[in-house]
Every structure is written in C-alpha cells, then in structure tokens.
Amino acid sequence: MMDRRLIENFDWSIIWVLFAIISIGLLSIYSALYVQIQAHPTNNLFLRQLVWLAVGMMVMCCSLFIDYQKLRSLSPWIYGSVLLLLVLVLVAGKEVNGSRRWIEIAGFQFQPSEFMKVVIVLQLAGYFSSQDVPGYPSLGKLILPVCFTIAPVLLVLAEPDLGTAISILAISTTIIFYVGIRWKYLAIGALSILPFIMPIWEHALKPYQKRRILILLRPDLDPLGAGYHIRQSKIAIGSGMLWGKGFLNGTQNKLHFLPEKHTDFIFSVWAEEWGFVGSAVLILLFCLLIFLTLRVAGRSRDRYGSLIVVGMSAYILWQAIINIGMVIGLLPVVGITLPFVSYGGSSLITLCLAVGMIENVSMRRYVFQTR
C-alpha cells in the first residue's frame, strides 16, 4: 500500500525545522512555568504540553496515510460538523473568563474554533480546485467561499474570540488571493462594506464593545490592562540585549510582570533569555518553515494539493506574524498564540495536523494512477 515513492517524496527538511521550533517552544515554556514546575514537579502545564506534543505527533503520522484526494468529497461534511460544534459551543460551551470557547467531551476539553482553521482550508481548496471554478474566478463564483468564511468567523466572534476570527479570515483571504482575484472585485468589496461601517459603529455596538475595539488599536487607552502588558513585554524583550540573560535568568518573567507568558507572550520569554540572537534565530526558523512549505505548494501534483498547502502555510505564517508583531509592540494585542511555541493542546494538535497535510501533499506529488 505504501509506495516507495511516497517515502522518497517525504520532505524531511520541514520536519527538522519544525523540531527546532518545537524545542525552542519547550525551553521557553519550561522557563515561563519554572516556578510552577518547582512547586508541582509531577503535575504541571509543561508535562501536559509534552503529552499534547506526543498526541500531535501521532495525529501528524496518521494524517499522512490518507490520500488527500479522498478529502475532496469528505470536506463539506467535516466543515459542516465543525460549524455545528461552533454553534454548540455558544449554547453549551464552558465559560472561561467571560467567553465560551471550550467544549467538553468525555472529560477532554477542546476548542472547535482551532480545528476550523484547518477545516476551512480543506473546504476552500476543494471549492477552488473543482472543474467549474477557473483561476481569477468571476464575482459569482466568489460568493460561496465568502460565505464559507463569514459563517465560522461570526460564530467565533460571538464566543467572543477575536484572535481566532482574525486567523480564519487571514487564512481564507490568502487562499482567495492565491487563486487570483481581480482588482475590480476587491474595489467592489471594499466599497460595499464601507457605507455600513459608520452605522454599525454608531448603533449596533454597545459602548463596552466599542471600547474593546479601540483598546485593540490603541493599547494606551487601557493602561492598566493591555497597555501595561505591552510595556512590560517590551521591557522584557529589550532587556535581553544582544545575547540574552541566559536560560532561566529572565527577571521580567520570574517576577510575574509578563501576562499570559506561557501562551500569548511566550516570545518575550524567549527573547529576554536568548537576546537578539535567539529571537532572530526563531524568526528565521519560521521563515524557513514557510519557505519550505510554500515550495511543496509549488511542486504539488494538482491545484487541490497546492491550495491545501498554501492554506496550511498561511495558517502558520499569519499566526506567527500577528503574534510576534503584537509582543514587540507593532500590532494590536488580539490573543493569537505563536505556532508550535505557545502552550496549548488544541492549537498544537491542529498545527501538527496542518503539517501532516502539507507532508501528505508533498509525498504524493508524483504518483502512478491506475485508470
């Protein structure tokens, strides 16, 4: 069943880069949670992350075996059921810090919105590679993919989880751009949204919602929350200087100045302890990973395969860009984690699945097909 060519075409370079990034992630989480690990050596989030990693690797291996072509007919079903789960979360989800994102099944909690990021890629790739949708599709052909995107985005926004909504939007947009979009459609789209912005802002949004959005754009409006976090994050990163303070020597991190340090702000922990050299290495590793995955997209056998790969790389690319951008104070703080580095089970497993899909396409780029 397993063709020799499948193994030959497996892209090992992606895996080596991935392992490098994951190692950096584990080192950073270990440092960020050092106090907790000392207190509870047998039960802490670091050990749990190792378990998640093992699960993720298994998911990645499993995802290699199914020929991605078979997903073409399955993806509408998967998409539909994840969409249903997103509705379920709003109805019966577990509320944490004022938002409903988690669903509990058989004692395991997970975020359906994470899986949506992979599922939307399969769904859009399937749509754009079908017979009757050409490159540079006409306006009529764009209505459906826009709906595919808007539905989960609205559901996730209702949780509310702005970060995930932005991720899904960025992934879909990248795929649509990749397929090709005419400039005039872009103009039409922008012009048709524009007149609604002011009325929505004025009437539909409650004052606290407006304030939240304003704070995202200008953290200095919330100096005790987001503004304080960004200031502390910048101090942490800057104080790393060229070579860093050394592993486990980050003071910002130790003194609890950093918020969400093992999730959203994990980059600051790494940058404080390993300096400019460390942070440059991590950024370059991400670039290399994206470069290698995009190479798979260019080489893939068909349009469906390359769209899947582009979507998956966009997932990693945009999350990395937005996360690093926000901790170094260039982008608003929206709660997006750093792929493979931040703590988090649902996100790590989904990312492993994404890499698995990329390898899946890579492995099947030359395949003998029986008629």
Partner 1 sequence: MKNKKPIGLKIINWESTETVSFQRQHFALYAILLVFLMIYLLRLWHLQVLEGSSYRFQSENNRIRIEEISSSRGIIFDRAGVPIVENRPAYHLVIIREDIRDLDGTLRELARLCERNPDDFFAIVEANRTTPKFMPLRIASDLDRDCLARIEAQRIRLPGVVIQLEPKREYKWNGTAAHLVGYLSEITEAELRSEKYQGYYPGEDIGKVGVESAFEQYLHGKRGGRQVEVDAVGRRIRLLDEVLPISGRNLWLTLDMDLQRTAELLLEGKTGAIVAVDPRDGSVLAFACNPTFDQEKFIRGLKKDDWNALTKDPSHPLLNRGSGAAYPPGSTYKAFVAIGALKDGAITSTSTFSCPGYLQYGDRRYRCWRDAGHGGVDVERAIIQSCDVFFYNTGLKLGVDKIAQYANMFGLGERTGIGLYGEHPGLIPTSWWKKQATGVPWQRGETISISIGQGFDLVTPLQMAMGYAAVGNNGKLWYPYVVKRIEGSTGDEIAEIKPRLKRSIPIEQRYFDIVKKGLTGVVESAGGTAHAIRDPAYQTAGKTGTAQVVHVAQGANRKLLEKLTKAKDKDHAWFVGYAPAGDPQICVAAIVEHGGHGASMAAPLVQKVIQAHLKGKTEK
State the residues that interact with partner 1 by CB under 8 A: 95, 98, 135, 174, 177-180, 220, 222-224, 227-228, 231-232, 234-242, 251-252, 255-257, 271-272, 275-276, 279-280, 283-284, 287, 290-291, 294, 297-303, 306, 310, 313, 317, 321, 324-325, 328-330, 365-371
Residue 147 CB, shortest distance to partner 1, in Å, is 22
Residue 227 CB, shortest distance to partner 1, in Å, is 6
Residue 252 CB, shortest distance to partner 1, in Å, is 5
Q: Which is nearer to partner 1, 346 or 362 (CB)?
A: 362
Tokens of 92: 């019966």
Residue 99 CB, shortest distance to partner 1, in Å, is 12
Q: Which is nearer to partner 1, 227 or 335 (CB)?
A: 227
Q: Cis link prior to 160 (omega < 30° from 0)? A: yes
Residue 253 CB, shortest distance to partner 1, in Å, is 10
278 neighbors 10 (Cβ within 8 angstroms): no
Q: Which is nearer to partner 1, 116 or 322 (CB)?
A: 322
User: For residue 96, which phi and psi values (nearest 5 degrees)?
Assistant: -130, 125
3-state SS, 232-268, equals HHHHHHHHCCCCCCCCCCCHHHHCCCCCCCCCCCHHH
Q: Which is nearer to partner 1, 196 or 243 (CB)?
A: 243
Q: Which is nearer to partner 1, 48 or 211 (CB)?
A: 211
Tokens of 194: 């524009």
17 neighbors 289 (Cβ within 8 angstroms): yes
Give the SS3 label for residue 86: helix
Residue 334 CB, shortest distance to partner 1, in Å, is 16
Q: Which is nearer to partner 1, 52 or 178 (CB)?
A: 178
Q: Which is nearer to partner 1, 56 or 332 (CB)?
A: 332
What DSSP line would sit under 267-327, residue for residue? HHHHHHHHHHHHHHHHHHHHHHHHHHHHHHHHH-SSHHHHHHHHHHHHHHHHHHHHHHHHH
Chain-centroid distance of CA 313 in Å reads: 9
Residue 279 CB, shortest distance to partner 1, in Å, is 5
Residue 370 CB, shortest distance to partner 1, in Å, is 6
- How far apart CA 215 and CA 322 sit, in angstroms, is 16
Tokens of 333: 């703080």
Give the SS3 label for residue 75: helix
Q: Which is nearer to partner 1, 329 or 335 (CB)?
A: 329
CA dist 66 → 56, 57, 70, 95 (Å): 17, 16, 7, 36
